[in-house]
Structure 1
Amino acid sequence: MIHMLHTMKQIKRMFNNCDGLLIVAGTEMSSESGLTNVDSLYSIFEFLQEPISSWKYICHNFDLYRNTEPHHGFKILQHLGNQFEQGCFVVTSNFDGQFQKAGFDAEKIYEVNGNFNWSQCSIPCSSELVPTPIFDYQNDVDYIPKCHICGAVLRPNTQLHIDNAWNSKLFDSQKSKFKNWTNQCKNILCIEIGADASNSSLRIISEQFFKNLIRINPKDFKHSHPNVISLPLKAKFGIDLIQYAIQEFE
């Protein structure tokens, strides 16, 4: 009980001493809305070998992404971010667009694995990105979306395994905006949510802000630095706890 009170007060101090909120979100942030990523299913070679079945599976998941409402934790984080002078920025390995759907500013989101809402030429013949096509994959059984420039198969603008053909145009732009935002902030509070130890692309980023880092993870929550607050909780419970600490403790 005493330890929990100390943790609550420490969270409130971090909140009061920072001018920007960085949200670093892994798969658990979306899985608590009922979603999973599909990045482990395909390499670019497998995708091109089976484009019809690949697109059927992609469309099935895309339907889930579009029809799933973000859980209440998204709104809490958005409300907290609005209280900072520099607002908040989101870095996520999820490509389901849930933060945009929850109302976060798309100009302040850095998706390190890309975004399912955009597609690209599989070659690619250009740096052009197009909205991911929506079609009746259950009835149009032989349909394959193709690049309007060269006729090659379209693919989602997400990083696949062993991917030497990913169009990083959107990624590069988001990364640049993230860097500019961090330079504007004097002191950043980082809330890392559901980024497992194996997710090095996220942890490398969050651990740069170890002086004001809150890690929410039911399994991989440990950190060697004494300043880091580790909450061995699932995403929604951890976010609720942070909100309670900020509202109730001085």
Structure 2
Amino acid sequence: MKEQHQAVEQAVAWLREADGLLVTAGAGIGVDSGLPDFRGNEGLWRAYPALGAARIGFEAIANPASFADDPALAWGFYGHRLKLYRDVVPHQGFTILQRWSQRMRHGAFVRTSNVDGQFQRAGFPERSVAECHGSIHHLQCVSPCCPSIWSATGFEPIVDEPACRLVGAYPRCPACGAIARPNVLMFYDAAWLSQRTDAQEERLHRWLGSVSRLVTVELGAGTTLPTIRRFSERHGPRVIRINAREPQIDPAKGIGIQGGALATLVALDHAFTQATGT
């Protein structure tokens, strides 16, 4: 408990001194909004029993080959997620992050491996979010026949949820008429179009160059796919790692606080408010 208290005190000091807030996030940030965390196939199969019955793992369904082998199943999975993410109400923690950033000269920038668009839905500007694995709210040709990436707005997936199968019309590429797929980086994915994400990363790089006293708040990023954790650590030494299971971090890079995203952000905000008198 003493170590946790000291970590909170250090986090508050860094937040007070910072002129820019880098938010890095993995799937764990969405759990408090009611989103599933596919940690291993067990989590996937709890959310999608039809995939469990067929013993179809996450690497198999989140794979461009699934759109060639069984597009109704692939779009059953991604269509259900698209509907889920469109309806999600982001938790209070997103508001806390925005409020902290408003005190800082350079505001906030987000880098997330999530494809759910939750940060934009919570009010973070599109220009200040980098989605390193793409976005389910954008589509591309499954081939792809062209470099076009377009909004999924207007596509309303009709899904037989128990069977995890799309029963409505497929989204189509406007150039060639082939089935479209989400503009999401999948496993073994040589067809993903990265231009949108590349532009986001370029904006992030420019923003980082403008910040002199950076603080990084990392939320719910695990070690199974450590993309976000490594990125956070490259932008130490003031990293505040918030993680329910794996809060460990090299002390030269930052501090770790064990806990869920929402509860920990609320506790930090309370300490921050007391320290600043705001």
| TM-score, normalised with respect to structure 2 | 0.84
Contact 1:93-1:111 within 8 A present in 2 as well: yes
- Equivalent position to 2:247, from 221, 224, 229: 221
Q: Does 1:65 align with 2:85?
A: yes
Please say which of residues 218-227 and 16-25 is displaced more in the overlay: 218-227
Query: Within 2, Cα distance between the matches of 1:175 and 1:144?
Result: 30
How far off is 1:8 after superposition?
A: 3.2
Q: Which residue of 1 aligns with 2:173?
A: 147
Specify the SS of the correspondent of 2:33.
coil
How far off is 1:4 after superposition?
A: 4.4
- Equivalent position to 1:185, from 196, 211, 217: 211
Q: How does 1:69-218 map to 2 (within 5 A)?
A: 69-132=89-152, 133-138=154-159, 141=167, 143-218=169-244
Query: Within 2, Cα distance between the matches of 1:128 and 1:193?
Result: 32
Identity among equivalent pairs (%): 30
Q: Does 1:49 align with 2:69?
A: yes
Which residue identity does 2:81 align to in structure 1? N
Deviations 1:134-155 (A, max 9, x none): 2352488262222111122100
Distance 1:235 1:245, change over 3 A: same
Distance 1:42 1:243, change over 3 A: same
Which residue identity does 1:129 align to in structure 2? I
* Count of residue pairs brought into register by the alignment: 250
Please say which of residues 5-14 and 137-146 is displaced more in the overlay: 137-146
Contact 2:20-2:101 within 8 A present in 1 as well: yes
Structure 1: any 5+ residue segments left out of the alignment? none
Query: Within 1, Cα distance between the matches of 2:115 and 2:244?
Result: 22
Q: Does 1:246 align with 2:269?
A: no
Q: Which residue of 1 aligns with 2:30?
A: 30
Q: Which residue of 2 aligns with 1:232?
A: 258
How far off is 1:119 after superposition?
A: 0.2
Please say which of residues 42-51 and 212-221 is displaced more in the overlay: 42-51
Deviations 1:10-30 (A, max 9, x none): 122211221100000110111
Query: Within 2, Cα distance between the matches of 1:248 and 1:97?
Result: 32
Query: Within 2, Cα distance between the matches of 1:34 and 1:222?
Result: 25
Specify the SS of the correspondent of 1:96.
coil
Please say which of residues 87-96 and 126-135 is displaced more in the overlay: 126-135
Which residue identity does 1:157 align to in structure 2? N
Query: Within 2, Cα distance between the matches of 1:167 and 1:229?
Result: 35
Contact 2:157-2:169 within 8 A present in 1 as well: no
Query: Within 2, Cα distance between the matches of 1:136 and 1:226?
Result: 47
Specify the SS of the correspondent of 1:116.
strand
Contact 1:59-1:134 within 8 A present in 2 as well: no
Q: CA RMSD for the aligned pairs? A: 1.9
Distance 1:247 1:166, change over 3 A: same
